[in-house]
Structure 1
Amino acid sequence: MTPDAADGDLAIESRALTKVFGSQRAVDGIDLAVPRGSVFGFLGPNGTGKTTSIRMMLGLVRATSGDVRVLGEPMPDRLRDVLPRVGALVEGPAFYPFLSGEANLRRFDSADRHASPATRRARVASALERVGLSAAASKKAGAYSLGMKQRLGIANALLQPRELLVLDEPTNGLDPQGTREVRHLVRSFAAEGTTVFVSSHLLAEVEQICTHAAIMSAGALVAQGSLAELRGAGQSSVRVSTPDPGAAAAVLVRFGLTPALSEPASASAEVSALLPDRAATDTGGRIDIDDILPALVRAGVRVRGFVVEEPSLEDRFVALTGEGFDVVR
């Protein structure tokens, strides 16, 4: 396991988890470690095995090999004990189109052997209110927009208190306002102590709501850890906008950097250079970034812009996989 967490501190843990369909290895021996209390982003292009992995975690399909534990229990062996503690929205919600949103939730709640009939009405009303569907509670689910169906699916996952929420592409089909609402919901779940596992192909969503992430590529797990760890594995860069690119490049060279010049835009050009990785900088003391701008000014460089760009999750993903998020296997 990559994260340094004891087994009891993990909400989800898999070892060599593998699923093969015929000749296709959909999930290839993943070792996943999801810390309790985290908002964990399961990241990768569509078609890389994320949903298949989730289905194995929840006991919906049996793994070809390997094992997985959810909330400390082996799955699917302890499925009956684990699933009441887990709320899930996987592969989009499915509802009876001729029933209202409220009636659908009542039907699903009545199928839960742990749910008390005496408090059903209150639970359903509370779940609908939390996802912003109270006004549409009596509307038939078949007339719901895709975004409303997504929110109804999240409401279904909230009918009982949950230790773990598993949300597969929860913002699919949502407009910007709906996306913000789901983002707020996820943060509120985490604030209450619930572990939230979010599968997504949207980098921006993961960066805004998650504390940890794992990156999938072609069925394999290529990286995982806190967002800070994943970003920190990349390289920062410095970018200078100036009408004196030659002089700026000479200053960067004196700092031991290798500058690159872009084509001039109007009266200015951009000079950029990769910075040494943080570990080398911290231990070797070779470059203090704060010294670069004063050195440029002392050299008479007319600085129109100076930016230190930190590595992003997108940079890390592309470096690991060589793929963009439009890739589908």
Structure 2
Amino acid sequence: MPPSAAADPAAAEADGRSGGSPYAVETRGLTKVFGKQRAVDGVDLRVPSGSVYGFLGPNGSGKTTTIRMLMGLVAPTSGDHDILGQPMPAELTSALHRVGSLIEGPAFHAHLSGLANLRRLDAADARSDARTSAARIGAALERVGLEPAANKRFRAYSLGMKQRLAIAAALLAPRDLLVLDEPTNGLDPQGTREVRHLVAGLAADGITVLISSHLLAEIQQICTHVGVMSAGKLVAQGGIDELRAGQTAELVVHTPDPADAMRVLSTAGVAALAADGEVVTGQPGGLPPERLVAELVAAGVRVRRFGIDRPSLEDLYVSLTGEGFEVRQ
């Protein structure tokens, strides 16, 4: 570990949680073939410890199959992976005890209350301590905000409440990694906000969260890192800001003096300048916007509106895959 990381208590704690590895999840050439279809093709996933990692891609891109391989639910055709620094499947039992997951929706007994469902799940865990069961279940319900509805039957829960109960089930034991497959799928805006705030709180406590989703708006609000899947391949991954920084920003100036604006901006180093009526566009590169505004004003250019449009996560996805993406506000 580099000296700077060793001096950082948060980094040291994260490394301890992931067995000394900087990654909570690491795969090497992970591949799954069904008949003639390569559902997952040579994926090298790197989920930094302590991150909120958005695993992106449209339905059918291989996200859920990848997650099922990570959790030991499906055997890979080839490749290998580590969870919390432990090789899988050799250390599956010890590693997965530190992992909570919600895959392909919650499954509970509809006629039982949320509390009764959690009691059954906790009792089924061979490692759980019956003496602390009530306290742990109460803490999990409090964590997801379901204490007032603990005695309500599961069938009467809203979709958002059902998702939160599933997350509570994943948190009955201490976890270092939480894996959520489409946790906001089918939720209304209120349910989506509930899950988003819950994930933010878990991340603030140092739990690494891996979220599979096809909803860009949600991922962009809560994730620190992303990986983009397309047709079974991981086509990009990294920090959100880092990936977006690699995309070209566009400068937009509204002015009744487009010719003068283009002359000034060209001198200042703006590239790919073009004018359409009173709208001038270009590529500012790393030039600070305040400098460009100052140059325009100093030259007497009348600026009605000035902006630099940064590429969105959706722009990044489309540039990588050429495909559209479902976006929900």
CA contact (8 A) 1:150 1:172 kept: no
Bigger CA drift: 23-32 or 118-127? 118-127
Please state how far the C-alpha of 1:169 moved relative to its aligned partner: 1.4
CA contact (8 A) 1:171 1:179 kept: yes
Aligned partners of 1:79, 1:235: CA distance in 2, in Å? 43
The residue aligned with 2:297 is 297
Aligned partners of 2:21, 2:270: CA distance in 1, in Å? 47
| Matched residue SS, 1:271 | strand
Instruction: Tell me if 1:259 matches 2:238.
Output: no
Aligned partners of 2:33, 2:275: CA distance in 1, in Å? 48
Per-residue Cα deviation, 1:263-308 (whole angstroms, up to 9, x for no partner): x6xxxx32211233x4xxxxxxxx5543321222233322111112
Q: What count of residue pairs does the alignment treat as equivalent?
A: 309
Aligned partners of 1:149, 1:65: CA distance in 2, in Å? 35
Aligned partners of 1:142, 1:261: CA distance in 2, in Å? 59
Please state how far the C-alpha of 1:153 moved relative to its aligned partner: 0.7
Aligned partners of 1:155, 1:64: CA distance in 2, in Å? 33
The residue aligned with 2:279 is 270
CA contact (8 A) 1:37 1:194 kept: yes
Write the mapping of 1:5-24 to structure 2, written as runs, cut at 5 A: 8-24=21-37
Write the mapping of 1:72-87 to structure 2, written as runs, cut at 5 A: 72-87=85-100
AA aligned opposite 1:324? G
Q: Relative to 1, partners in 2 of residues 1:75 and 1:65: Cα closer, same or farther, differing over 3 Å?
A: same
CA contact (8 A) 2:214 2:325 kept: yes
Per-residue Cα deviation, 1:223-252 (whole angstroms, up to 9, x for no partner): 111122111111122111223333323333
Give the TM-score taking structure 1 as reference length.
0.88
The residue aligned with 1:131 is 144
Aligned partners of 2:140, 2:170: CA distance in 1, in Å? 9
The residue aligned with 1:155 is 168
AA aligned opposite 1:310? R
Aligned partners of 1:26, 1:17: CA distance in 2, in Å? 11
RMSD: 2.1
CA contact (8 A) 1:42 1:213 kept: yes
Aligned partners of 2:186, 2:145: CA distance in 1, in Å? 16
Instruction: Tell me if 1:99 matches 2:112.
Output: yes
Bigger CA drift: 214-223 or 187-196? 187-196
Bigger CA drift: 251-260 or 45-54? 251-260
The residue aligned with 1:140 is 153
Please state how far the C-alpha of 1:152 moved relative to its aligned partner: 1.0
| Matched residue SS, 2:178 | strand
Out of 113, 117, 121, the residue aligned to residue 130 of structure 2 is 117
The residue aligned with 1:183 is 196
Instruction: Tell me if 1:317 matches 2:326.
Output: no
CA contact (8 A) 1:15 1:29 kept: yes
Out of 61, 73, 81, the residue aligned to residue 60 of structure 1 is 73
Aligned partners of 1:64, 1:158: CA distance in 2, in Å? 31
Give the TM-score taking structure 2 as reference length.
0.88
Bigger CA drift: 30-39 or 74-83? 74-83
Please state how far the C-alpha of 1:261 moved relative to its aligned partner: 3.3
Instruction: Tell me if 1:223 matches 2:224.
Output: no
Per-residue Cα deviation, 1:136-194 (whole angstroms, up to 9, x for no partner): 22222122222221111111111111011111112223333332232222222122221
Per-residue Cα deviation, 1:53-108 (whole angstroms, up to 9, x for no partner): 00000000000110111011222232211111100011111111111111111111
Unaligned runs of 5+ in 1: 279-286
Q: Relative to 1, partners in 2 of residues 1:210 and 1:326: Cα closer, same or farther, differing over 3 Å?
A: closer
| Matched residue SS, 1:174 | coil
CA contact (8 A) 1:259 1:273 kept: yes
Q: Relative to 1, partners in 2 of residues 1:258 and 1:25: Cα closer, same or farther, differing over 3 Å?
A: same
Q: Relative to 1, partners in 2 of residues 1:65 and 1:236: Cα closer, same or farther, differing over 3 Å?
A: same
| Matched residue SS, 1:258 | strand
Please state how far the C-alpha of 1:256 moved relative to its aligned partner: 4.6
Bigger CA drift: 171-180 or 222-231? 171-180
CA contact (8 A) 2:159 2:191 kept: no
Q: Percent identity?
A: 60
Aligned partners of 2:66, 2:274: CA distance in 1, in Å? 42
AA aligned opposite 2:282? A
Out of 253, 278, 301, the residue aligned to residue 240 of structure 1 is 253
AA aligned opposite 1:60? L
| Matched residue SS, 2:97 | helix
Unaligned runs of 5+ in 2: 1-10
Aligned partners of 1:256, 1:11: CA distance in 2, in Å? 42
Q: Relative to 1, partners in 2 of residues 1:179 and 1:256: Cα closer, same or farther, differing over 3 Å?
A: closer
Aligned partners of 2:159, 2:242: CA distance in 1, in Å? 35
